[in-house]
Structure 1
């Protein structure tokens, strides 16, 4: 996409997040430092710019941008209340399935859609397994979000999916070690896993092919 489209998508995504501020705070049902600012607007704007950079058609652009806005809201809500509301995660499934199905038709590439569906299902299943093995460390919201991010990353490619899904755990480990070493505190008391999932997906989408070569 052109520079103009990238800038416009970033602005529209940021404005959309700003307009959803009151709704976001209502969903969170709590007072928090994270909810009082506009971090979600900045995250949404960055996600919008990334969406336009990645997209090769309008179906992808719309899907990626809406996913970015949704993830920006989830990012902040999870930081504030350690929860990923179904009212955001649920619609993201419909948005991504619709956008990717449309993109598959535009590109005449149904196998790419099947790969996205397969990796989305796999990501969901892996998180279910991890939630069972390590209860209390991953919540139901994390499991549901994994499926959405798996769809997105699976559409982009194997390298993006692997780095994106593993990136959440790598980033969590790095930040956890830093917090334990510097602040002598337990990471689990400070930061939930959802923001790492979003950051990991962004990392995979941006750097996947450059870091890993798969398929």
Structure 2
């Protein structure tokens, strides 16, 4: 997408996130500083710009932008309360997949839609297994978010799926190391994984095509 579309998407996403901040605080039942309007708005601006930069058509833009807004809201809530509410995660599936279905129909790209569905299923299963093995590190919210991020990355290709998944866990390792060294945190200290999954997906979307 052109620069004007990227900027417009970023601005609209930021305004929407700022407007939803009171609802986020009520949903998270928290007054954390992470839920001040500037935080979700800033995250949404960055995510919206990235979504528009990756999109190649109007239908893709709608789906990617809605996903970006949802991920920005989820990241803020997770940072504040270590929760990924179903009320946000659940609607992201149709909000992404319906526009992608339209894009597939318009451009006869059903194979891409199929790959998105398979990638979503693969990440759902993998994350569920990891959550079952280590429930203290991954929750069902992470599992559900993995599916929608898998669909997004799968639409772009298998290389973005692989890089995005690896990047999330690499960022998690770096975060754990920083907490351990900088603030002398206990090794068992928990931290939100959702924002790292979103950041990993952004890495996969941006550099995945060059990864393999």
User: TM-score higher than 0.5 here?
Assistant: yes
Per the alignment, residue 201 of structure 2 pairs with 201
Per the alignment, residue 90 of structure 1 pairs with 90
Per the alignment, residue 133 of structure 1 pairs with 133
Q: List structure 1 segments (4+ residues) > 3 angstroms apart after TM superposition.
A: 186-190
How far 1:36 sits from its partner (Å)?
A: 2.9
Per the alignment, residue 63 of structure 1 pairs with 63
CA distance in 2, matches of 1:178, 1:67: 29
Query: What TM-score does the superposition give when structure 1 sets the normalisation length?
Result: 0.95
Per the alignment, residue 53 of structure 2 pairs with 53
Per the alignment, residue 124 of structure 1 pairs with 124
Per the alignment, residue 107 of structure 2 pairs with 107
CA distance in 2, matches of 1:182, 1:18: 31
CA distance in 2, matches of 1:191, 1:134: 14
My pick for the range that moved more, 27-36 or 126-135, is 27-36
How far 1:191 sits from its partner (Å)?
A: 2.4
CA distance in 1, matches of 2:80, 2:93: 23
SS at match of 1:56: coil
Per the alignment, residue 170 of structure 1 pairs with 170
Per the alignment, residue 182 of structure 1 pairs with 182
Per the alignment, residue 15 of structure 2 pairs with 15
Per the alignment, residue 25 of structure 1 pairs with 25
Note the residue ranges of structure 2 that are not aligned, 5 or more in a row: none
**Preserved CA contact (<8 Å) 2:30 2:81:** yes
Note the residue ranges of structure 1 that are not aligned, 5 or more in a row: none
SS at match of 1:189: coil
Structural mapping, 1:142-181, within 5 Å: 142-181=142-181
My pick for the range that moved more, 148-157 or 27-36, is 27-36
Query: What TM-score does the superposition give when structure 2 sets the normalisation length?
Result: 0.96
Instruction: From the superposition, tell whether residues 201 and 127 of structure 1 become closer, same or farther in structure 2 (CA, over 3 Å).
Output: same
CA distance in 2, matches of 1:182, 1:126: 31
Root-mean-square deviation over aligned CA pairs: 1.2
